[in-house]
Structure 1
Amino acid sequence: MRVELARTAGFCYGVRRAVQLAEEAAGQGRPCVMLGPIIHNRDEISRLEAMGVGLTASMEEIPEGSAVLIRSHGEGRAVHEALAARGCTVIDATCPNVSRIHGIVSQAEEEGRQVLIIGTPTHPEVAAIAGWCARPVVLEGAEALSNWLDEAPERREMPLTMVSQTTSTRFIWDSCVEKAKKECTNLKIFDTICNATCKRQSEAQALAARSDAVVVIGGRESSNTKRLAELCGALCPMVVWIERAAELEPSTLCRKASIGITAGASTPEWIIKEVYDKMSDENIEIEESFAEMLEKSIKTLHTGEKVTGVVTGITPTEIYVDLGTKHAGYIPVSELTDDPAVKVEDLVKVGDEIETYVMRVNDQEGVVTLSKKRLDTVKSWEDIEQAREERTTVEGVVTEENKGGVVVNIKGVRVFVPASQTGLPRDTPMSQLVKQKVRLRITEVNRARKRVVGSIRAVEAEERAAKAAEVWENIEEGKHYTGTVKSLTSYGAFVDIGGVDGMVHISELSWSRIKHPSEVVSVGDTVDVYVISFDKEKKKISLGMKDRTQNPWEIFTGKYNVGDVANVRIVKLMTFGAFAEIVPGVDGLIHISQIADHRIDKPGDVLSEGQMVDVKIIDIDYEHEKVSLSIRALLEEPAAEDEDVNEE
C-alpha cells in the first residue's frame, strides 16, 4: 500500500501566524481572550484555552482593558471601533490576505462604488469583509450574480468592485468574472482567492486523481476543508472526511493500493500525525515514515534558490516573508531594491506575494535571509540577453556620464552607451541625459565580464524611419501637422513633422514682415503647420504657418478708409520712401515727399526702422492691394486750421 501526504497539508501561513500570536499572548501572563475561535479547529482552540487564552463569542463578556485576539477570518470595522472604545489591546491575527480585502472594499466605498463579495454569506470571513462596507452585496456564485443583475438592469451600469472569499474555488470565481465582464460596463475586479488555497486545492485534486482513497482531515465548520472534500470526491471513488483519528475506521481502507492524505488549513501537524499513528497501529503498511512525508510537505531551502512567499510584516529595517516552510524568512531593506529613493511601502504591502532569492539559511535558528534585488538582477540579465537575441527595445534610466558615453540602469544592470550611440548631436553635453528615461537596443552582452553595450540612436533611427514612411504615405497638400522646430536659417525654419523635416520659408512664418525666423519661433518650439507642396522623389516638403483664414487685406479694408489716421510701425527704409506696417500682413508706402513738411535728402533723416508714427491714409488701390500713407498731411492740417481761424 502506498500512502502519500499532500505537500501543503495542514496549517497555511495565515493560520500558523494566528496560532503563534495566540501562543505568544498566552506566554505573557496577562488576561487574553479570543473573540470567537481564531481558527476553524475545535481541538486546537481547546489546546490554546488550556494555555490560558480565553474564548468568548460576545464582546460584552470581555473585561475592559483586556488583550483581545482577532481571529484569522477578521472582524468588521465596528468591532475594532468597539474594542478601542473599551480600552482593549487588539492582537490582530487577521490573515494578511483577508486584511488586503478589507482595504480594497473600504477604498471602493470611498470612491462611491458598489462592493460585490463572491462567497458564502454566513462564513465569518465574508461577514468580516462585509463589515468594512456600508452596503455590501454577497453572492454565492455566477447564478446569484446573474439574478442580482436581472433584478435591476441599471445595476449593469453601476460602478462595481468585485472581490472573492479567499477560500472560494477557482471555478466559482472565474465563472463570476466571466459573467460580470460580459454584462457590466464599469467594473473593477480583484482576484483575492488565496494562492495557498489554490495550491492546496490543485494538489488535492491531483492526489485524488491518482489515489484509490483520500483521507481529508479538518474541522466540519472549516470552509476550505469542505472544499477539499468536495474536490477530491469528484475525482476519487472514496473520500473519508475526519476531524480526529478516532473517527477513522482503518478497515474501510483495506485492499486500497494507494491512499492520499490531505488536511485543511486549520489542521495542526499533531492531528495529522495522530491519524498516521492510528493507521500504523492498524498495521497499514506505509512506504515511508510520517517524518519523511512531513519533511516532503515542508520544502527544504538552499542558498541560491528562488522561492515565493507572502509578506507578513514590514519594519523600517526588514520585510518578513512567510515561505510556507519551517523557516522564518526576512528581506533586509538593503536587499529589496537598488533604488535609494524608493519607499519600502511603495514596493511591498502585507499580504503581497513576492518572489525572492535565498541568500543564507540558518537551520539552527530557523531563519532564512532573502533578497529581492539579487533575484531581480538575475532576471534582468536573462531579460537583457533575450533582448539582445530578439532585438527588442528596452527601457532604462541614465545614471551617469562615463568616459566616452553614458551608463543606463536597466533593472539593476549597467548598460554602457557610447557617445556615438546616444543620439545627441556632436558637441552636445551628454550630461543632459542624466536622470532621463531612455529607450535603447542591446548590441553586446558579455555576462562573464558583466559588460553590456546598448544604442539609443538605433531605436531613434528605426522609429524615425517608421514615422517618416508613414508621413510620406499619407502626405497631401493642405494637411495639418503638429511639429517641432529643429533648426533656423536666415531664410526659414526646419520643422520635424514626425520623422520628416519640412521647411517653413520666412515669408510663410508670419503675415508681418520679419527679418529673421527667430522673431517668430525658437528651436524646440511645438508649432502647427500645413503642407503647401511636396516632392516625394526629392524628399522635400514646403510648409506654412500663417493662418490662411485670416486675410490681412480684408482685415485692413474692414477697419480703415481713405482719410483715416493710423498708428503704424516703420518696417523698411528705401531711397524713395519708407514702408510701414498698418496691420500684420499689410504695408503702406510713405513716399519721401510725404514724410515731412519740408525737403529731406533721405527717409533716414527723419525715420528709423521699428519707429511708431501716426499717418494719414491718402489712397487705397483695391485692385493691386496697395496703400499710400502720409505724415506730411497730418503736419499740414493744423497749419490749415490756423489759417482759417485768422481769416475769420
Structure 2
Amino acid sequence: MHIVVASTAGFCFGVNNAVKIVFDLAEKSEDKVYTFGPIIHNEQVVNKLQEHGILAINSPEQVSAPSKVVIRAHGVGPSVISEFEAKGIEVVNATCPYVEKMQRLVNKKYNEGYQIIIIGDKEHPEIIGITGWCNNTAYIIDSIEQVKTLPNIEKNICVVAQTTFIREKWEKIIDSLNKRFKNVLKFDTICNATDKRQSEADKISKEVDMVLVIGGENSSNTNKLFEICRANCPETYKIQTASDIPPVDIKKIKKIGITAGASTPDWVIKEVIHNMSELNKQDLEMSFADAFESSLVTLTTGQITKGRIIGFNLNEVYVDLGFKSDGIIPMEEFTDDIDFDPEKSLKVGDEVDVFVVRVNDGEGNVILSKKKVDAVKGWEVLEDAFENKRPIAVKISEQVNGGVIGYSHGVKIFIPASQISDRFVKDLSSFVRQVVQVQIIEINKQKRKVVASARIIIERNKEFASNEIWNNIEIGKVYKGQVKSLMDFGAFVDIGGVDGLVHLSELSWNKIKHPSEVVKVGDEITVYVIDFDKEKKRISLGFKKKEDNPWVSAIKKYEVGNVITGKVVRLVPFGAFVEIEQGLDGLVHISQISSVRLGKPGDVLKIGQEVQAKITELDAEAKKISLSIKEVNPIDPKGAKKDAPVAADEELPTEHKEDMTNTIAENLNSLND
C-alpha cells in the first residue's frame, strides 16, 4: 500500500503564528492569559493550551483585569476589542494577516459608501468578525441560489470571500453577481495557502483509492478539503486524530492520500502517517475481517481512554470506544454540575476522556465514568493552583453545616462560612449555583479533602482596588459606587474597594431628615469627590448635582417684580417664609404682609396658606429672596383701621432685630443644607 502525503498539509502561516503567540505568552506572561474563542479550530491544540492554563472564553464578561486576551486567528470585530480595552484587559491580536487585510479593506469600502457582500459561511467566526468592520450591514451568501435572494442594491457593491472558500464556487457566484448587478467591485481574498492546499487535494484525490482528511470538526478549510476530495474519491474520510482512522481493507486499498486542514498540528499528522505505515507492514493476505478485528481496542477495568459521543438521553451518554461494544456513562457519572443540561451541553461527535468502571455489566455493556477522569486530572490542577496560590473557579452546588460545597475540575471543595465573603453572610443558600473565585488554603489528596477561601481573593482584590483609588484620587473626580449603609448623618458608598461618606447635606438640595429619603442600600449611584484625607483614609463625597440647585434655576426663572404664588411654610416674629417651589423659599417681612401694623404674622397668616407675593429682591449668591404680599394684595385683620405706612426698619422692635438676624441665618443654612 502506497501512502501519498500532501506537501501543504498542516499549519498555514497565520495559524502557526497565532499558536506560537499563545504558547509564548503561556511561558512568559505573569498575568492570566485567555483566548477569545478557540485560538484555532483544532481540539488537540485547544486541549494542549488548557494544560498550560490557557482557557478559551466567549465574552468580555468572563474576564477581569489584570489579564491578557489573545484574539483568535479568525479575528473579531472592533467592538469586541473595545469591550476588552474598556475593562482594562490587554488585547494581543493574533488575527491571521490575510484576515486582518480583509478587515481593513471591508472597513475602508464601507466608509466609502459601498454595500459589502461576503461570500462564505455566515456562522464561521472569521465571517462574524469581518461583518463587525462594516457595522454588521454585510449580506452573506455561499451559493448561486442565494444571489437571487439579495434585494435590489442601487449603490456600489464590494465583494470579498472567506479566506478558505473554494475558488471554483467563488468564481461561479461572482459571475452570477455580475449578471444581476452592474456595479460590482470584487476582491479575491481567498488565501494563497488555501488555494494551494485545495489544488493539491484535488490532484491527489484523483490518483488514490482512499483519502484521509485530517482536521477539526468545525474547521472550515478542513470541511472544504473533504468536499473537494469526496467529489473525486468516494472513499474519503474526515478524521481528527489517528484513533479515527476507519478500517482499511489492504487488499483493495493500494494507494492512500493524506491531507490536512490549516489548523491541524504536525504531531497529529505524524501520528496518522505512523499508524498507516504500521498497517502497511501487515500481511498483505490478511482478510478484511481480521484487519477490522485487530483494529479494535482492548479495554481493562480502571483504564482511562478516549471515546466519541454517539448519542445521549436524560439518563445516559453513549460513547464509541473503538471497542466491540459501545460504552455507557450514567448521567450521575458525567458531571457534578447541578445545572448541567444534556440538550444544551452535549453534542454527538464530541470527544471525551473516560474511566472504565466495568468492561461487562452482565449485558455486554461497558460502564464508564467521566467524573473519575476529571477528578484525576483535577487533582493535578488543584495541587498546582495550591502551590502557586493561583485562584480557581468553583461552582457552588449545596449548602452544608458550616459552609458550602462546590466543584472545580471534577473535585469536591469545601468553603467555610467564614471564608465565603469578607462580610458576615446569614443565608449561605444564596451562593448555591453561583461561580466564585477562590484560593485553596488546605489540600490533602489522600483524604480527598480540599478547603478553599473566597474571602482571600475578595480582600486581595479590594486591597488592589483600594490602592488604585488612593493613588489616583483627586477632588472633583467622578466614581460609580454602591450604597453600603445608611446613618442618620449620611450614606456610606463603596467606590471600588474604598468607602466614602455622602453627608446628609450633600444628598439633596431639599432639606431631608434621613438618607433613606433619597437612596437605599444596594443602589448604584454616581458620586464625586469633595475632599479626602489619605492619612486618615477618609473621603467626602457629593451626590447632588450642581445643575439641580434650585438657586441656579431661580436666576433663570425669576426676577425682581415677578408675582409668584406660594405656600406659607414657616412663621417667625419678624415675618413669614413662603415656599416658591421645592427647595426655594422667600421671606415676607412682617411690614410687607398687611397695610396696617401687625402684632405678629400669625394674626393674618397660617402654615399651609396659599398667598400671592411680589419679588422685591433676589440675591442667588446670598441665597436670599425678599417678597411683598402687601404690594399685590395686602392681608389685613378683620375690622382693622388702616394706618399710615410704616418703614420696616423703623417699626421692628429692637428685641426682635437680633432674633430676625439669627432666624434668617438659620433658615438660609437649612436651605443650604
Deviation at 1:337, TM superposition (A): 2.6
Match for residue 275 of structure 1 among 281, 285, 294? 285
Tell me the equivalent position of 2:453.
Answer: 455
Instruction: Confirm or deny that 1:620 pairs with 2:617.
Output: yes
Deviation at 1:627, TM superposition (A): 0.4
Tell me the equivalent position of 2:655.
Answer: none
Tell me the equivalent position of 1:361.
Answer: 359
Match for residue 168 of structure 1 among 196, 213, 231? 213
Equivalent runs, 1:456-475 vs 2, <5 Å? 456-475=454-473
Deviations 1:38-93 (A, max 9, x none): xxxxxxxxxxxxxxxxxxxxxxxxxxxxxxxxxxxxxxxxxxxxxxxxxxxxxxxx
Instruction: Say if 1:457 and 1:506 are closer, same or farther in 2 by CA, change over 3 A.
Output: same
CA distance in 2: counterparts of 1:469 and 1:479, whole angstroms: 16
Q: Is the 8 A contact 1:502 1:541 kept in 2?
A: yes
Equivalent runs, 1:5-404 vs 2, <5 Å? 108=121, 153-154=186-187, 167-169=212-214, 194-196=239-241, 200=245, 219=253, 225-227=256-258, 260-262=278-280, 275-276=285-286, 297-339=295-337, 341-362=339-360, 366-404=364-402
CA distance in 2: counterparts of 1:315 and 1:442, whole angstroms: 36
CA distance in 1: counterparts of 2:378 and 2:593, whole angstroms: 77
Deviations 1:507-545 (A, max 9, x none): 222222222222111111111112222232332222222
Deviations 1:399-437 (A, max 9, x none): 343333333343554433223222253474434334433
Match for residue 503 of structure 1 among 497, 501, 504? 501
Q: Is the 8 A contact 1:331 1:370 kept in 2?
A: yes
Matched to 2:437, the amino acid is R
Deviations 1:368-392 (A, max 9, x none): 1112233233333433333222212
Equivalent runs, 1:483-522 vs 2, <5 Å? 483-522=481-520
CA distance in 1: counterparts of 2:448 and 2:502, whole angstroms: 49
CA distance in 1: counterparts of 2:164 and 2:434, whole angstroms: 49
For structure 2, which runs of at least 5 residues remain unmatched after alignment?
A: 2-119, 129-141, 148-159, 175-184, 202-210, 223-236, 261-265, 642-673
Instruction: Say if 1:441 and 1:145 are closer, same or farther in 2 by CA, change over 3 A.
Output: farther
Tell me the equivalent position of 1:420.
Answer: 418
Equivalent runs, 1:563-578 vs 2, <5 Å? 563-568=561-566, 576=574
Instruction: Say if 1:446 and 1:132 are closer, same or farther in 2 by CA, change over 3 A.
Output: farther
Q: Is the 8 A contact 1:170 1:198 kept in 2?
A: no
Instruction: Say if 1:537 and 1:193 are closer, same or farther in 2 by CA, change over 3 A.
Output: farther
TM-score by length of 1: 0.55
Deviation at 1:196, TM superposition (A): 3.6
Matched to 1:310, the amino acid is R
Deviation at 1:628, TM superposition (A): 2.0
CA distance in 2: counterparts of 1:140 and 1:538, whole angstroms: 61
TM-score by length of 2: 0.54
Deviations 1:528-584 (A, max 9, x none): 112222232332222222222455333112212334344556666666555455345
Deviation at 1:469, TM superposition (A): 1.3
Tell which has more relative contact order, 1 or 2 (C-alpha 8 A, sep 6+).
1
Q: Percent identity?
A: 37
CA distance in 1: counterparts of 2:421 and 2:162, whole angstroms: 57
**What is the DSSP-based 3-state SS (H/G/I as helix, E as strand, rest coil) of the residue aligned with 1:537?**
coil
Tell me the equivalent position of 2:82.
Answer: none
Instruction: Say if 1:303 and 1:316 are closer, same or farther in 2 by CA, change over 3 A.
Output: same
Deviations 1:281-324 (A, max 9, x none): xxxxxxxxx98x98874332122222111112234543221112
- Greater CA drift, 140-149 or 432-441: 140-149
CA distance in 1: counterparts of 2:591 and 2:400, whole angstroms: 68
For structure 1, which runs of at least 5 residues remain unmatched after alignment?
A: 4-106, 116-129, 178-191, 205-214, 242-258, 264-271, 279-289, 644-648
Number of residues of Structure 1 aligned to a counterpart in Structure 2: 444
CA distance in 1: counterparts of 2:604 and 2:487, whole angstroms: 32
Instruction: Say if 1:429 and 1:471 are closer, same or farther in 2 by CA, change over 3 A.
Output: same
Choose 1 or 2 for highest CA Rg. 1
Q: Is the 8 A contact 2:307 2:353 kept in 1?
A: yes
Tell me the equivalent position of 2:434.
Answer: 436
- Greater CA drift, 299-308 or 595-604: 595-604
Instruction: Say if 1:448 and 1:626 are closer, same or farther in 2 by CA, change over 3 A.
Output: same
Instruction: Confirm or deny that 1:524 pairs with 2:522.
Output: yes
Tell me the equivalent position of 1:25.
Answer: none
Match for residue 406 of structure 2 among 405, 408, 419? 408
Tell me the equivalent position of 1:101.
Answer: none
Deviation at 1:460, TM superposition (A): 0.8
**What is the DSSP-based 3-state SS (H/G/I as helix, E as strand, rest coil) of the residue aligned with 2:525?**
strand
CA distance in 1: counterparts of 2:418 and 2:594, whole angstroms: 63
- Compute the RMSD of aligned alpha carbons: 5.3
Matched to 2:552, the amino acid is E
Instruction: Confirm or deny that 1:537 pairs with 2:525.
Output: no
CA distance in 1: counterparts of 2:351 and 2:187, whole angstroms: 37
Deviation at 1:447, TM superposition (A): 3.1
**What is the DSSP-based 3-state SS (H/G/I as helix, E as strand, rest coil) of the residue aligned with 1:349?**
coil
Matched to 1:275, the amino acid is E
CA distance in 1: counterparts of 2:517 and 2:283, whole angstroms: 88
Tell me the equivalent position of 1:554.
Answer: 552
Q: Is the 8 A contact 1:620 1:628 kept in 2?
A: yes
